[in-house]
Amino acid sequence: MGAPKQLLPWGDSTLLGHAVETASQLPCNKVAVVLGANSEEVKEAIMDDAILVFEHVQWEDGLGTSIAWGIGQLLKMTPEMDGVLILLADQPLVTPSYLKSIIHEFEAGKEQIIATSYNEKKQGVPALFDVIYFNELMALKGDKGAKEILQKHIAQVQLFSAEGQLSDIDTLEDYRTLYTANHQW
């Protein structure tokens, strides 16, 4: 992309800044960011001292290892956590109200996974995992994220439709298209 994806402009901020602002509007105890490539440069873009920033040096091992490492770091700081909501900076159309609807459905200790439905065959993040899944999350490896956990526990997965809020930015063209469509004022 020519620059760290998290630092691409979005609104009055960056993709990461927008994601942090969105997460900061949620009724949760902690907001944490797991950084990988270009972490020093990206970290400077987080202006809120209340945000926990974890720099994962083995980020090249994939998204799964970043999730695993981040959960481990959070548990060290907040061992009483009863759930974790995972979201990505490259989904800037996800709104606080959508995430609040996921949190509203969550009941601690009920072995829930509340995930987002992309279509009839695909589920993913944003997703909220009950504490019962933390060991599995911390065992993730590679670049598949938590998809295997969702598939393994499909009977416990409650799906929410984000209704057009799930435009991932995977390429510079994706970014330009989404930015243009959402910044016409």
pLDDT along the chain (185 residues), means of 10: 86 92 90 89 82 90 92 92 94 94 93 87 89 96 89 93 79 90 76
pLDDT value of residue 103: 95
Give me 129's structure tokens. Answer: 């995992």
pLDDT value of residue 2: 73
Helix (H, G, I), strand (E, B) or coil at 70: helix
155/34 Cα distance (integer angstroms): 29
Handedness of CA 145, 148, 151, 152 (dihedral sign): negative
72/64 Cα distance (integer angstroms): 12
Alpha helices in the chain (DSSP H): 15-24, 39-43, 63-77, 96-105, 134-138, 147-152, 172-182
| Residue 135: CB atoms within 10 Å | 10
84/30 Cα distance (integer angstroms): 10
Instruction: State how beta strands 113-119 and 52-55 pair.
Output: unpaired
pLDDT value of residue 48: 78
Instruction: State how beta strands 32-35 and 83-86 pair.
Output: unpaired
Give me 35's structure tokens. Answer: 């950084």
CB within 8 Å of 116: residues ≥ 6 apart? 102, 123, 124, 125, 126, 127, 159, 160, 161, 162, 166
**172 in Cβ contact with 4 (< 8 Å):** no
Domains recognised in the chain with CATH numbers: 5-182 (3.90.550.10)
pLDDT value of residue 120: 66
